[in-house]
Amino acid sequence: MKTANEESYLSISLLNKLVKAKLELDPDLQKLYVKGEISSWKVYPTAIYFSLKDESSVVSCMMWNSSAQYLKFIPKVGDEVLVRASINVYPPRGTYSLLCYSLELYGQGKELLALEELKKKLAAEGLFDPSKKKKIPEFPDKIGFIAGDGSAAEADIIRNSQRRWPLAELYFFPSLVQGKDAPKDLVRALKKAEEYPLDVLIIARGGGSSEDLSAFNDETLTREVAKCPIPTIAAIGHEIDYSLVDLAADLRVSTPTAAAEASTPDSNEIKQMLDGAYERLQEAWESQKEAILAQISNLSNRPFFKNPASMYSDKREEVEDYRKRLNLSIDHIIALDKERIEALSKHLSALNPYGVLSRGYSIATNEKGEILKSVSDVRKGEEVTIRLKDGSLKTEVK
Amino acid sequence: MEEKKLTFEEKLNRLAEIVEKVENETLPLEESIKLYEEGNALIKELNLTLKEAEDKIGQYKKIEK
């Protein structure tokens, strides 16, 4: 070490700045994973100040609220935790602390890891395959649901499914949903539900209950849900936190109410649809009726219907014509006959023997009334009757 | 009797089919009348089913161990 003059001695400020620069520029010290037990915990408006310790040492820590909002649990003194942090030096005091970005419970970390492993295993087996998801029926007759006895989930499902679709029968299978006996009891309830001819089965955990999803991450239960022949809807986890049962179910929703809605059609919509159908039928019918009426009126305007007389008035004329012609010919025939009769009667009168008398001829008869044609027809003294035009004479032959 | 076996969903589908048909097809009058009557009967039936179901709200079966 070379000797230095007085001017080359560092000020404290400079020293602390130098250390700050050294430590904060070291990449290894900026990406630290540290394990420790929380020994103090103080929340301020913008940040949390705490300390971590092990058997012999302590380190100060702080976490900005912007990071703290992602904490998945409420840490307390005594918790064994894992932090991700970087070194931060405070020059005025020459102290350093850990600026923490994340903080997890140590034990939970192991559990999460195990869960992650299990999830991977079941996924590899195809338990969560979208292709294996059964379709949730649109119009269920029988809805089954597994939930805590007397839980908010039970009430929510009953109220909402009946409000939407009162046609469905509800079957409630109460079960434990948390605690070490919960997985077994849930499997029992599931098996029981499978004995009923259900169209859909809801597995729900009431909102507001403990954060503990562990029962729904149980391997046996998850496998049973995956192979359940009834279409299943799970409403267990939260928006971000999915349980394995959520993943194995045919459908997952965030709340029991959403599960009730997902398993039922809305009867109000159906009623509206029925009203709509009625109107549409009515309209279709009216328009068809109008078309038919238009067609009828079109046809009825044709001459045939408009003036039915026209059809036979022509005929009538024709008949009348014939009739006239017929009458005419009959008159004619009668007239002709009359003429002939007249002519004949004239002719006949010409042949009348008495006709000649008028011209001065006479007819003589003997006493016996015989017409005299020869003188030998009478004897002397015999009375002869002579018939003239206007009377007869009695004479005596001399 | 056959019709009794139709589920609510099947009846609803049949109704939709009828409405679609009378709206979009030119049908003989006799068929239209038949469909129209069938459709109206379905609407009545479905509404009645819904109404009857509403009277049963609050009932459910609880199956204990």
Complex ipTM over 0.85: no
Query: Which chain A positions have a beta carbon within 8 Å of B22's beta carbon?
Result: 280-281, 284-285, 288
For residues A362 and A88, which has the higher predicted lDDT (pLDDT)? A88
Contact A207/B at CB under 8 A: no
Q: Is residue A292 part of a domain?
A: no
Q: Please indicate, yes or no, whether residues A101 and A195 belong to a single structural domain of this protein.
A: no
Number of domains in chain A: 3
Give the residue numbers spanning the domain of A231.
139-265
Tell me, yes or no, whether A155 lies in a domain: yes
**CA–CA distances in Å: residue A53 to residues A3, A34, A298, B49:** 40, 10, 102, 69
User: Does a structural domain hold residue A309?
Assistant: no
Between the alpha carbon of residue A311 and those of residues A179, A294, A299, A302, the distances in Å are 99, 24, 16, 12
Q: Does residue A1 form part of some domain?
A: no
Q: Is the pLDDT of residue A368 over 50?
A: yes
Is residue B63 predicted with pLDDT exceeding 90? no
Which residue in A385, A381, A375 sits closest to A397, CA to CA? A381
pLDDT of residue A212: 67
Q: Would A134 be classed as within a structural domain? A: no
Domain shared by A103 and A149, yes or no: no
Domain boundary among A66, A87, A108: A108
Q: Given this model, what pLDDT does residue A4 score? A: 67
Task: Tell which of A210, A241, A265 closes a domain.
Answer: A265
Task: Name the residue among A339, A343, A355, A366 with its Cα closest to residue A389.
Answer: A355
Q: Tell me how far apart the alpha carbons of residues A136 and A293 are, in angstroms, rounded to a whole number.
A: 48
Mean pLDDT within A358-368: 80
Question: Of B43, B2, B22, nearest to A285 (Cα)?
Answer: B22
pLDDT-based confidence at residue B55 (cuts at 50, 70, 90):
confident
Return the number of CB contacts < 8 Å for A and B.
83
Which residues from A are below 8 Å from B64, CB to CB? Answer: 174
Mean pLDDT of all residues belonging to chain A: 87
- The Cα of B8 is separated from the nearest Cα of chain A by a number of Å equal to 8
Residue B4 pLDDT level (bands cut at 50, 70, 90) = low
- Could you read off the pLDDT of A171-230 as tens digits, one per residue? 999 999 888 899 999 999 999 999 999 999 999 987 544 456 788 999 999 999 999 999
- % of chain A with per-residue pLDDT over 90: 45
Mean pLDDT of B11-29: 86
Residue A82 and residue A35 in contact, taking contact as beta carbons nearer than 8 Å: yes
Select from A85, A108, A131 the last residue of a domain.
Answer: A108
Domain co-membership, A14 together with A81: yes
Q: Tell whether A275 is covered by a domain.
A: no
Region B51-56: what's the mean pLDDT? 84
Closest CB to B50: pick one of A162, A196, A267. Answer: A267
Write the pLDDT tens digit of every residue in A155-174.
999 999 999 999 899 999 99
